[in-house]
Structures are given as structure tokens and as C-alpha cells.
Amino acid sequence: MIALPVSAPHVPCEIAVSPPLQVASTTVEVGDYAIYSCVQGYLLVGESTRYCSRNERLDGIEPNCSLIYCPDLTTTSPLSVSVSNLTYAFNGLATYSCAAGYFMSGSNTRSCQADGTWNGSAPTCEIATCPTLSATDPLNVSVTDVYIGDIATYSCATGFEINGTYTRTCQNDGTWGDAEPTCTPITCPTISAPIHGQVNFLNGLRVGGDAVFGCSPGYILSNNKTATCTVAGSWDITPPSCLYNGMN
């Protein structure tokens, strides 16, 4: 019996690649094609397919992968931009900012995408202003303007003193610094009735109020009978006393 020759085992084309280059299969049968691609963020340079010939070798040249870059970003003051890691490659992050005195309208970040374009659009910088201020009597407010750095000045009507800071500044974030002050009525200290006399308060102890003095029979006031509360929070005269007039 004649022995038949044993055929050599069939060996397909074998492929070895390293990232970022990748291949659909690491083995390709004779007569088939190896299909190449790149990981996300890279562009394939060269042919995407190679033929596995009868000699079990791939024809052509292995392609390579080139990093995809997004275009340079430019801005005009007051808008500025910086890019992470100084690279415009895939997944690079661009961060925008506005100069002092401006606030941003839109997203402050953009990402470099796998197709080489930046997502979204550039934000804009709007000049920052603070809201208009108003005050309720007895508080008054005077404002030069409502732009960053402008100052609002507060005052109180006559007879009141300010409680808190009397100025506020428009800040970079478009808000007024500090808190709105309040007005507290100015009052004079109470006065005791003179010995052998009495005192009546007209309009209380507030500014403009009067303390009217009188004496019991047989006594007379040492000076004016009326003291008025001033804006300084004090009486305009020293309270009088009742003097014996020697008459019954």
C-alpha cells in the first residue's frame, strides 16, 4: 500500500498591530482582506485593506494613524481662551473667560471632537451691570451709574441716622456689595421732671419733639419752659429747674 503524502497545515496571514492602529481580525484567510482602522481621535493614513495572497503574505504597506487636531481658536478682547495641555487634539478642552467687568453668555468650555471640530460655539462677553437701586423713605439712594466700580450713596431723611454702610459698589459679578443700610430714628434722652414741677413731651423724644416744663404753684422756671430735640440727638437747652418764688 502506497502512503499518501501529508499536506502541510494551512496557515493564514497573521497580523500584529499596535494602538492606535487596529485591525478587524488578527488572522485573515488566503484570498481575504485585512481591514484596518484607527482608534477614535486618529486618522488612518494609507490603504484601509490589504490582500492575503497565496504565499500567505499581505500585499501592500501597513497604514498608520495620525492624531486628529482641531483648528486653532482665536478670540477678541474681552474674551480669551486657553486649551488644556497646550494641545488641540481629540478630547482637548478649551476654556473661555471674560475680562473683569464682563459676564459670559454661553458655555465657558468646548471639546475637540474625533472629527477634528470643536463642539458648540464660542461664548460672548457682555458688559456687566448691576440692577437699578431704589429706596423707601426715609432711606434715600443716589447712584452715579450701574457699571462695574460705580458707587451708590445712601442717606437718611432729617431726623434719622444711617445704620450700616452708606456706600455700596457695583461688583464684577453684577451685584452690589454689602447690604442695603437702614434708617433709625434719632431720639433724645428722656428728661425727668424738675423737683416741684412737671414735664410733658410733645411728639415724643424724636427730632423736633418738644419737652414742655411747668412748676407747681409757688415756684417758677429757672429758664425757658420748652426744650426741643435736635438732629444731634440732644436737647437744645439745659432742662430748667423750679425755683421758689417766695409767694404763697
Q: For residue range 47-81, what is the model confidence (pLDDT) as tens digits?
A: 999 999 988 899 999 999 998 888 989 999 999 99
Query: Cell 458655555 appears where?
Result: 107
Cis peptide before 217 (omega within 30 of 0): no
Give the C-alpha separation, 200 to 235, whole Å: 14
Coil vs helix vs strand at 168: strand
Residue 173, judged by CB atoms within 10 A of its CB (0-12, 13-18, 19+), counts as exposed
Give the C-alpha separation, 199 to 187, whole Å: 17
Tens digits of per-residue pLDDT, 136-191?
Answer: 999 999 998 999 889 999 999 999 999 999 999 999 888 999 999 999 999 999 99
Give the C-alpha separation, 155 to 231, whole Å: 14
Domains of the chain, first to last: 13-67 (2.10.70.10), 79-127 (2.10.70.10), 139-185 (2.10.70.10), 197-244 (2.10.70.10)
Task: Tell me, letter by letter, the H, E, C secondary structure of 89-138.
Answer: ECCCEEEEEECCCEEEECCCEEEECCCCCECCCCCEEEECECCCCCCCCC
Coil vs helix vs strand at 167: strand
Query: Cell 495620525 appears where?
Result: 66
Mean pLDDT of the chain: 91
Give the C-alpha separation, 236 to 211, whole Å: 10
37 touches 50 (CB < 8 A): no
**Alpha-carbon torsion angle 111, 112, 115, 119, nearest 10:** 40
Rounded to two decimals, the pTM is 0.56
164 touches 183 (CB < 8 A): no
Coil vs helix vs strand at 197: strand
Q: Kindly list the distances between the CA atom of residue 22 and the CA atoms of 31, 52, 58, 187, in Å, as whole numbers in the listed order.
A: 20, 17, 15, 87
Give the C-alpha separation, 217 to 222, whole Å: 14
For the chain, percent of residues with pLDDT exceeding 90: 76
Q: Is the pLDDT of residue 113 over 60?
A: yes
Residue 28, judged by CB atoms within 10 A of its CB (0-12, 13-18, 19+), counts as buried
Mean pLDDT across the stretch 76-96?
Answer: 86
